[in-house]
Amino acid sequence: MILGLLQQENDCQILSNEEKIYIRQAKLIWSDIEFELIQDDMLGNFLRSENPDDIQALERLATNVINSIIEKLDQKSI
């Protein structure tokens, strides 16, 4: 779901997507920022970049995804 929201609602392009036993690791690009979506069974979901300058942009992107999930849950009255 999160990967789909990043791609469909935030114009992120998927560069690669690997699913392992306990983790999914997708590499994406958004507004010239390369980053990873990590979906870890133990740690949860997070966005990661090697460049500390990308943190604010990725925080905005994460907020967009969170707000979209909340909106979709509200529409379903969950």
Local confidence band at 1 (pLDDT 50, 70, 90 cut-offs): confident
pLDDT digits (tens, 9 = 90+) for 34-78: 999 999 999 999 999 999 999 999 999 999 999 999 999 998 876
List of residues 6+ apart from 19 with CB closer than 8 A: none
| pLDDT in the model for residue 78 | 60
Per-residue pLDDT, averaged over 12-30, amounts to 96
Residues in the chain: 78
Q: What is the pTM of this model?
A: 0.87
Give whole-number Cα distances, 41 to 8, 15, 46, 78, in Å.
24, 22, 11, 23
The domain limits of the chain are 2-75
Adjacency order of strands within the sheet including 44-48: 13-19, 23-30, 33-40, 44-48
Strand-pair partners of 48: 36
Per-residue pLDDT, averaged over 18-27, amounts to 95
